[in-house]
Amino acid sequence: MPKINTVLFDLDGTLADTAPDLANALNYVLEKYNYDPLPFEKIRPVVSHGGMALVTLGFGKDHPQFETFYKELLAHYQENIARETTLFPGMDELLHALEKAKINWGVVTNKPGWLTEPLMDALDLTSRAVTIVSGDTLKERKPHPAPLLHACQQAGSQVEECLYVGDAERDIEAGNRAGMLSLVALFGYIADSDTPESWGAHATITSPQAIIPFIESLN
C-alpha cells in the first residue's frame, strides 16, 4: 500500500461545521415569507446536500417561488458565511498533525467558489490548503471523480497516495470512482435514513483524530 501523501476533505460536514450558518440562512428566508422556522436538528442532516436541498426542505421542491427563496438563502448565507461556523472538534489538531508529518491536505467540495473561497479565508485555511476544488472549478461535480483527480494533480500526488474524507454517499462514490481510499466522517451531517456502512468506504471514523491511526495502519 503506497504511503498517503495527501488527505482531501469535503467541506460542509467534514472539515467545517457550517450547519449553524446555513440553518440560520434558511430560517431567515422562512420567517421573511411568514413561515415558521425549522428546528436545527431537522436542518442539520440536509446541509451537506446544498442550498437547493435546504430550500426544498423548507418550502417544497415545487414551490413557485423556489428560485427566489434559493437566491435569498444564498445571499443571506454569503453575508454571514462564518458567523457561527467552526472547524469540527479535533480538526485543527489533525491539520497540524498532518502538516507536521509532511502530509499535505486540501478541499474538494460541491460548494461554489464564490462561497468556498470566503469561507476558507474566514477560517484562515486558504494558505494552508495545497488545493481547493469547488463545485464550479470544473464542469463536473461529485460524485464524478474529476474534481478529486484534479485535486490529486494539484497536490502533486498519485491517486493511490490520496485519501478522501466525506460525510455523504456522493463523496465516497467519487473517491471510489477516482481510485483512492475513502473514509466516512460519521461526525458530519449523517441523516437517520442514511446507511454509511453500505456506501463502500474503506472505513468509517467518529472523529478527525481517527484519521492519523488509519493512515499509520496503511504504512
Is 10 one of the annotated active-site residues of the chain? yes
Question: What per-residue confidence (pLDDT) applies to 94?
Answer: 98
pLDDT digits (tens, 9 = 90+) for 88-114: 999 999 999 999 999 999 999 999 999
What is the Cα–Cα distance from 25 to 196, expressed in whole angstroms?
Answer: 27
Place of cell 474503506: 202
Length of the chain: 219
Q: DSSP code of 206?
A: S
Q: What is the pLDDT of residue 1?
A: 55
What does the DSSP 8-state code read for residue 62? Answer: T
SS3 call for 188: coil
Residues of the chain with pLDDT below 50 are none
3-state DSSP call for residue 131?
Answer: strand
Q: What is the DSSP string of 65-130?
A: THHHHHHHHHHHHHHTTTSS-EEPTTHHHHHHHHHHTT-EEEEE-SS-HHHHHHHHHHTT-TTT-S
Q: Which of 10, 12, 21, 167 is catalytic?
A: 10
Cell of residue 22, nine digits = 446555513
- DSSP-derived letter for residue 214 is H
Q: What confidence score (pLDDT) does residue 218 get?
A: 87
From CA 181, how far away is CA 1, in angstroms rounded?
11
In the chain, the domains with their CATH numbers are: 6-17+86-218 (3.40.50.1000), 19-79 (1.10.150)
Helix or strand or coil: residue 60?
A: coil
